[in-house]
Amino acid sequence: MRILAIIPAYNEARNITAVIEDLKSFRGDILVVNDGSTDDTAAVAKSLGAHVVSHPFNLGIGGTVQTGLRYAYEHGYDMAIQFDGDGQHRGDQVFKILELVQKGEADLVIGSRTLPGGYKMGITRFIGSRIFHCLIRCLAGKAIHDPTSGFRCYGKKTIRLFSRFYTDDYPEVESIITAARNGLRVVEVPVLMRGRLSGHSSITRRKSAYYMLKVTLAMVVDAMRGRDLVGES
Amino acid sequence: MDLTKIASLGLSVGIFCFVVWLVRERRLREKYALLWLCTSVFVILLTVSRRILEVAALSIGIYYPPSLLFLVGVLFLLLVAVGHSVTLSRLSESNHNLAQEVALLRKQVEDLREQQKVQKQ
C-alpha cells in the first residue's frame, strides 16, 4: 500500500525540520504543502528530501489539505495521513490512525485527544468541541469527541471525495458530515499529542464566535445535500 | 418642466452616459452594463412621465407613489447584491482551483526536470 503524509505548512520554517524528522519511521512519501509561506518553509522541506507543492498565494488550511489530497489522488496513493506542520502531532502515533484504514475497516480516521488516553484541551476549545460533538450526533448520527482534530487518515474513497469537495476555511468538522453523508465510515481513535513547538492557534477568541457560526451553518447546509457520487463508476 | 424634473432627468441621463463610457473604456463588461443601462432607461421613463408611477402605485394599493419607488429600488439593489455574492463565490472557487492546479503542475514540471537531469547523466 502506498501511503502519503500530507503536511500543511504556512510559515513553519522553524518547525518543519523537527516535524519531518519526527516522521523518520514513517513508511511512505512525505508531501509538504506550502500555503504561500513568506519564509523558506519550502526550501527547508526540500533539503530534507520531502516532496513540496507550493501555492502561489495563501489558500487557508482547507485548500492546503485539499491540494495534498488532490496530489494523492492524481498519484494513485491508497491512503493519506494529515500531519500538522506545527509539531503538535507525533510521529510515534501515526500507526494508530493508519491501522483501521489499512485493514479496510474505516475510510476516515480521526486521531482524538479526548478519548481515554488523550490529553486535556483548553476550556474554550472544550466547549466548542462539545457543541460540535452534539451537532454531528444530530446530523450524522456519529459520536466524534474531538471533531476539530487535524490528525487524520484518509482512505482511497475519502481521498477521491475530498479532492473534489473540501472547504477552504475551518474544514475539519464539516468534512466529517460530508464523509458520513456519502456513506464513508468515520472512526475516532485515541492518540497522544504535544503542545505546539512555536507559534499560536489560528483561532483567536475574537474569531471563535465567527468560527462557531460559520461551521454550524456549513454543517447544517451540508447535511441537507444529497450524495456526491464522485467517480462511482 | 419644474426644477426637480430637470435635475433628475440630468442625473439619469448622466448615469446612462457614464455606463456607456465604462463599457467603451473596457472597464465594465457588457453583461453587467446591460443591467445598469436598463435601470437608467427605467429611471428616465419615470422622470418623463410621473403618471406611470402613480398608476402603478395606486393599482396595487399604495397611496403615496414615491414609496413604491423606494420599495422597488431597495428590492432591486438587494437582488443585485445577492447576485454579486453568488458571482464572487463562483470566482473564488475557480481562483482556488486554479491556485491548486498551478501548484500541482509546477511540482510536476520540477519532477520532470529532475528526471531529465538524471537521464542525461
Question: Could you tell me which chain A residue has the CA closest to the CA of B93?
Answer: A168
Given a contact cutoff of 8 angstroms between Cβ atoms, the answer to whether A93 and A152 are in contact is no
Given a contact cutoff of 8 angstroms between Cβ atoms, the answer to whether A219 and A174 are in contact is yes
Is residue B74 a part of any domain in this protein? yes
Smallest Cβ–Cβ distance between A57 and the set B99, B104, B107 belongs to B99
B69 and B115 inside one domain: yes
Question: pTM score, two decimals?
Answer: 0.85
Note the pLDDT of residue A198. Answer: 55
Is residue B44 a part of any domain in this protein? yes
B71 and B44 inside one domain: no
The answer for residues whose C-beta is within 8 angstroms of residue A229's C-beta and 6 or more apart is none
Residue B17 scores a pLDDT above 50:
yes
Dist CA A108 CA A159 (whole Å): 9
Asked if A55 lies within 8 A of B100 by C-beta distance, the reply is yes
B43 and B9 inside one domain: yes
Exposure string over A136-164, b if 16+ CB within 10 A, otherwise e: beebbebebbbbbbbbbbbbbbbbbbbbe
Which of B100, B105, B112 is the best residue to mutate to test the A interface, defined by the most A CB atoms within 10 Å of its own CB? B100
Question: Does any CB of chain B come closer than 8 Å to the CB of residue A45?
Answer: no
DSSP secondary structure string for all residues of A216-227: HHHHHHHHTS--
Note the pLDDT of residue A202. Answer: 61
Name the grid cell of A174.
Answer: 464539516
The residue assigned the cell 491501522 is: A99
Report the domain count for chain B: 2
For residue B84, the enclosing domain spans: 65-121
User: 3-class DSSP state for residue A143?
Assistant: coil
Given a contact cutoff of 8 angstroms between Cβ atoms, the answer to whether A93 and A192 are in contact is yes
Query: What's the rounded mean pLDDT across residues A164-181?
Result: 90
B41 and B83 inside one domain: no
Asked if A53 lies within 8 A of B96 by C-beta distance, the reply is no
Is residue B35 a part of any domain in this protein? yes
pLDDT tens profile A49-90:
999 999 999 999 999 999 999 999 999 999 999 999 888 899
B39 and B74 inside one domain: no
Question: Does any CB of chain A come closer than 8 Å to the CB of residue B100?
Answer: yes
Percent of chain A with pLDDT over 90: 57
Note the pLDDT of residue A200. Answer: 59
Is residue B79 a part of any domain in this protein? yes
Asked if B107 lies within 8 A of A168 by C-beta distance, the reply is no
Is residue B53 a part of any domain in this protein? no
Asked if B103 lies within 8 A of A67 by C-beta distance, the reply is yes
Note the pLDDT of residue A233. Answer: 42
Dist CA A207 CA A150 (whole Å): 19
Note the pLDDT of residue B91. Answer: 95
Note the pLDDT of residue A210. Answer: 85
B92 and B117 inside one domain: yes
B44 and B5 inside one domain: yes
Q: Which residue has the higher pLDDT, B120 or A6?
A: A6
Question: Does any CB of chain B come closer than 8 Å to the CB of residue A52?
Answer: yes
- Which residues does chain B have within 8 Å of residue A55's beta carbon, measured at their own beta carbons? 99-100, 102-103
Residue A119 scores a pLDDT above 60:
no
For chain A, domains (ranges, CATH) are: 3-223 (3.90.550.10)
Dist CA A197 CA A195 (whole Å): 7
- DSSP H helices, chain B, are 3-24, 30-48, 50-59, 65-120
Is residue B27 a part of any domain in this protein? yes
Is residue B110 a part of any domain in this protein? yes
B76 and B24 inside one domain: no
B39 and B71 inside one domain: no
Considering only CA atoms, which of A196, A186, A211 is closest in space to residue A119? A196
Dist CA B24 CA B33 (whole Å): 11
